[in-house]
Amino acid sequence: MNQMGPELNHRKTKLKNNRGHVITSTYSNRFSYIDDHILYCEKQHNYSKKIYHETHASDWFLAYAVLPENRVCLRSADTILKLDGPIFIFQPAFSLLEFHIEEGFLKWECIGSHLPFDFLPTSPKLLKTSNFTLPKNKQDLIEVSKKLFLQPSIIQERTPSAIAEKLKNYIDSNFREDLKIGIIAKKLNYSREVMTRAFKKVYGISPIEYRHKLRLSEALIQMRLGFSITDALLSVGFMDPSQFIVQFKNLFNSLPHKYKFQNEK
């Protein structure tokens, strides 16, 4: 298990005055805090036509958008749901959602946090409504969460698989570990080939790719909380800074130092 780097993911710094932004060739992302630990984010993204697998590690997010027709779909189990009009998507920590997005510009707003709140759902939710706006504080979030609980869950798995779910649960709890997938397979009493094939069939990406997404997303959380790039990458299981930079650029289309975080006194 990786012992290097501090355990950073539950740091409880005062964040109310924190601001941040990043601008790349395909998207801009600006954030601020509406509460000591509730993040507000506005993202404008010029998407390519592709399938996007979204996870945010220990962050949960409630996203809001008014979507044009025939631009965005979301997979739930083996069903592709067409999304349009005003929608909310709630994505808990360590959930994995599959979006099918057509080429073009979209704007999203969202709130989220690296801290869990016990009044939030534990499974992904989709809410289609024009009766709400994105919550502006914790009390508003509590009210919206009551509506989310009434909605059917978004099913992450394409098909049920005890093997794939067992592996995902292991990765979620141990993504910082410097273990090859073959070693994990032995720990779970499966062959590497069977386990990897089951995971990709169920979730649409390989377990290695999923672990990379978790590590990189968690590193971004640590940077947002005020830790250095070096401390962040070590804390999530990267031993080689150059490998971290390559993987970070592949996922976020940006370099780590382009993400600007500051505290405004």
Within this chain, do residues 39 and 132 fall inside the same structural domain, yes or no? yes
Please determine, for residue 265, whether its predicted confidence score (pLDDT) is greater than 60: no
Number of domains in the chain: 2
Residue 192 lies in a domain: yes
Within this chain, do residues 82 and 107 fall inside the same structural domain, yes or no? yes
Give me the long-range contacts of 226-232 (CB less than 8 A, separation at least 24): 226/11, 226/13, 226/18, 226/261, 226/263, 227/6, 227/8, 227/11, 229/256, 229/257, 231/5, 231/6, 231/8, 232/8, 232/256
Distance separating alpha carbons of residues 196 and 207, to the nearest angstrom: 6
Residue 4 lies in a domain: no
Within this chain, do residues 118 and 186 fall inside the same structural domain, yes or no? no
Residue 264's pLDDT is: 53
Within this chain, do residues 57 and 180 fall inside the same structural domain, yes or no? no
Domain's final residue, options 117, 149, 181: 149
Within this chain, do residues 130 and 204 fall inside the same structural domain, yes or no? no
Residue 96: left if φ>0, alpha if ψ -120 to 50, beta else—which one? beta
Within this chain, do residues 247 and 126 fall inside the same structural domain, yes or no? no
Q: What is the mean pLDDT of residues 119-126?
A: 97
Q: What is the mean pLDDT of residues 144-170?
A: 96
Within this chain, do residues 65 and 107 fall inside the same structural domain, yes or no? yes
Within this chain, do residues 120 and 199 fall inside the same structural domain, yes or no? no
Residue 109 lies in a domain: yes
Residue 263's pLDDT is: 59
Please determine, for residue 76, whether its predicted confidence score (pLDDT) is greater than 90: yes
More confident residue, 2 or 158: 158
Within this chain, do residues 31 and 93 fall inside the same structural domain, yes or no? yes
The amino acid at residue 6 is: P
Within this chain, do residues 178 and 98 fall inside the same structural domain, yes or no? no
pLDDT tens digits, 201-260: 999 999 999 999 999 999 999 999 889 999 999 999 999 999 999 999 999 999 999 987
Residue 7 lies in a domain: no
Residue 10's pLDDT is: 45
Residue-number span of the structural domain to which 170 is assigned: 162-263
Residue 35's pLDDT is: 81
Please determine, for residue 83, whether its predicted confidence score (pLDDT) is greater than 80: yes
Within this chain, do residues 31 and 143 fall inside the same structural domain, yes or no? yes
Within this chain, do residues 230 and 251 fall inside the same structural domain, yes or no? yes
Residue 132's pLDDT is: 83
Domain's final residue, options 114, 149, 184: 149
Residue 13 lies in a domain: no
pLDDT tens digits, 17-67: 577 889 999 999 999 988 878 999 999 999 999 999 999 999 999 999 999
Distance of alpha carbon 48 from the chain centroid: 19
